[in-house]
Chains A and B, each alone.
Chain A
Amino acid sequence: MKKSLAMRAGAVVAAGAFALSACGSSDSAGSSGASGGFKAPDIPMVKSLGSGEGAVNILAWPGYAEDGSSDKNYDWVTPFEKATGCQATVKYFGSSDEALNLMKNGGYDVVSASGDATLRLIAGGYVQPVNTDLLKNYADIQPFLKETPYNSVKGQMYGMPQGWGANLLTYNPDVVKPAPTSWADMFDPSSPYSGKISAYDSPIYIADAAVVLMTTKPELKITNPYALDQKQFDAAVELLKGQRKAVGEYWSNYAAQETAFEKGDMVLGTSWQVIVNMVEAAKKPITSVIPAEGATGWSDTWMINSKTKHPNCSYAWLDYIGGPEGNAASAYYFGEAPANAKACDTIATVDKDPTFCDTFHAGDQAYAEKIYYWTTPISQCLDGRTDTTCVPYSEWAKAWTEIKG
């Protein structure tokens, strides 16, 4: 049986929305003498594995580690326990901030972290580098998810990729004619669809404006929408302030956006695959594309606590959840593209859903490369520039208030 769409949507939305709620910080960091740049603390990496310790404490997004208690048809934790002898204790968290706090206080061995929490976990010394040679399923992970700026530091991986999804340019084809081909259509202050444009309610959405500027204002030389110097950032904020005039709603609740599209309150906006599926299931007109300039999106990674007392069981979990069975089960339940290439076969055969991976474009590298994955913007430019400093997330959060006015 296929999991109800709403269920998966809930999980995806929880993940998406909270993945965004990145860990901001104060702009008064300067006056408080906070650390000046991004550094990964020197934490030793596991060289070889021994036998399991008999237990592993898992900190996860809701829906990433089901043991059958939510729905008896969905249980991929028990098979793991039987195979490894590692008794799993699962704790779900509601936001990246909560995950960060729980990891800081210790007690959890592994965590599923979104791209906007990962760097902070690494910088805080809460997670350890991961020896991918010890993970046999790492070889099957889609190459475009390996050694990304949000899950590695200088080529050193810090975890096992879980899955990803993109923010889509979504519209009502009955109303929006001709069909939009660029995000810029959403940023036109004098848009004919003014008042019916649905923008995403999070500071990380500033990156979407930066993606638009990459094509419309090449002279700004933006190469990474999460690495914006002050001038580039100001241009993005300006673009969003213009868009504000045409925005009908800033959404952060997936169900609200779904009904807004269904009822025609909103006809053009940024959305997720799973919301599009729900509107389609309600038999309402909806179309979504990734425009030529690309899109923002999320990507989650499993990481290991730097102070774990169960390193062997932790590696066992990472290998399992990134493997064809665990990754298929969790990504399918969650509603996202699985990181493991072989997971699609499992979903097609075990879950009898051969179209799932096509819907989520799981193996489509061209599609995946159009996505700029959520990353925490930090002062040290993520695109490698050293001659300037970039605007950190705390400033993004402040600017977001100003954009909405």
Chain B
Amino acid sequence: MRKQPGSQRGAARSGWATVAFLTPPMLWLGVAYLGALAALLLTAFWAVDEYTPQVIHTFNLDNFRTLFTDGVYRTVAFRTIGIAIVVTIVDAVLALPIAFFMAKVASARWQRILVIAVLMPLWASYLVKAYAWRALFSAEGPLSSLGLHIGYGLPALVITLAYLWLPYMILPVYAGLQRLPGSLMEASADLGASSGTTFRRVVVPAIFPSLVAGSIFTFSLTLGDYVAVSIVGGPVQVLGGVIYQSVGTANDLPFAAALSFVPVVVMLVYLWAVRRTGALESL
């Protein structure tokens, strides 16, 4: 059979193109991302000199021992996870009706306007929004003049974080609802289901993967936050703040690295649980 050198050369060329195309992102993933994680893991087993802020490269488990035996870190970890769960639930409860209205009720024109409205807060800096809430919660703030004095602390923190991450919940839920054929709801109604039943037994199960996708954002972003806490959290202490203090104040990089493994492990468990529900495949 006659050879077709042209097509072979073409295949080779496309092979090289694939390599060239994939190398930068794979390097990024491998070196900058996984490499940094590996370095983090390694650092967690080192120590720091008492006088100079030098990391001593001797393998030891002291950091993890402190982490597990000292009750305060457990308290802070559970508090942080608790806040992340509450923020996620608040966002899900708020996002569902908003996204449903956007996807199924509003006209095409209003849909566009609402999407922009949801995205709009993302154009403003996170810090500006957090400080705006600080002003809102203040003793002389607008909420107080309405007789609603919240002050700084846990409730203020949950409200602020729920506000900050709400768009990340609305958008996936909205996208999920858009993919949901209206005929399904009509069929449910035709078969005699009330709108509440339809919502509970048709809509929510259908968009469950979208809710889970949104929860990954709200949960992980809350788990890592330490700035909003310092602005509206009052005396509340969370994991991010403790890690920040270990680096910035105590200059104990190894201990900070050990601490960072708490949110990493929590997120891995969370993603594993999410995978079990099969939600990741339908993202």
Contacts and interface: CB of A to CB of B under 8 A. Distances in A.
Given A35-B50, A252-B230, A259-B138, 7 more contacts: A24-B250, A26-B62, A31-B60, A120-B52, A250-B235, A265-B152, A401-B72
Nearest to B231: A256
Interface string B224-261: 00000011001101000010011011111011000000
A264 B139 contact: yes
A272 to B, nearest CB: 18
26 contacts: A20-B249, A21-B248, A21-B251, A24-B251, A24-B252, A25-B252, A26-B56, A29-B48, A29-B49, A33-B58, A34-B49, A38-B51, A100-B53, A120-B51, A123-B51, A195-B151, A202-B249, A203-B250, A248-B235, A250-B235, A259-B138, A263-B140, A265-B151, A401-B73, A405-B72, A405-B237
A206 interface: no
Interface in A381-405: 392-394, 397-398, 400-402, 404-405
A26 B249 contact: no
Interface string B116-134: 0000000000000000001
Interface in B72-124: 72-73, 75-76
A109 interface: no
A124 interface: yes
Contacts of B141: 263
Contact of B140 (A28, A97, A100, A264): A264
A405 B50 contact: no
Interface of B: 47-53, 56, 58, 60, 62-63, 66, 70, 72-73, 75-76, 134, 138-141, 151-152, 230-231, 234-235, 237, 242, 245-246, 248-252, 254-255
Nearest to A124: B52
A405 B249 contact: no
Interface string A13-42: 000000011111111110111110010000
Contacts of B231: 256
Given A28-B60, A31-B47, A401-B72, A101 B139 contact: no
Contact of B246 (A123, A260, A397): A397
Contact of B58 (A32, A35, A252, A394): A32
B228 to A, nearest CB: 13
B250 A397 contact: yes
B235 A34 contact: no
A151 interface: no
B52 A405 contact: no
Nearest 9 A-B pairs (CB), nearest first?
A: A24-B250, A397-B250, A26-B48, A28-B62, A29-B50, A32-B47, A25-B50, A404-B237, A28-B47
A244 interface: yes
A394 B138 contact: no
Interface in A187-230: 195, 202-203
A97 B51 CA distance: 12
Given A203-B250, A397-B249, A26 B72 contact: no
A58 to B, nearest CB: 22
A7 B119 CA distance: 35
Contacts of A167: none
A35 B249 CA distance: 21
A398 B250 CA distance: 8
Contacts of B152: 248-249, 265
Contacts of B60: 28, 31-32
Given A253-B230, A263-B140, A401-B245, A100 B66 contact: no
A256 B137 CA distance: 13
Contacts of A112: none
Nearest to A119: B51
Nearest to B53: A23
B52 A104 contact: yes
A95 interface: yes
A379 interface: yes
A247 interface: yes
B139 to A, nearest CB: 5
A120 B139 CA distance: 43
B138 A263 contact: yes
A325 B81 CA distance: 55
A22 B48 CA distance: 14
Contacts of A24: 48, 53, 249-252
B249 A123 contact: no
A21 B151 CA distance: 28
Contact of B52 (A123, A259, A260, A264): A123
Contacts of B251: 21-25, 97
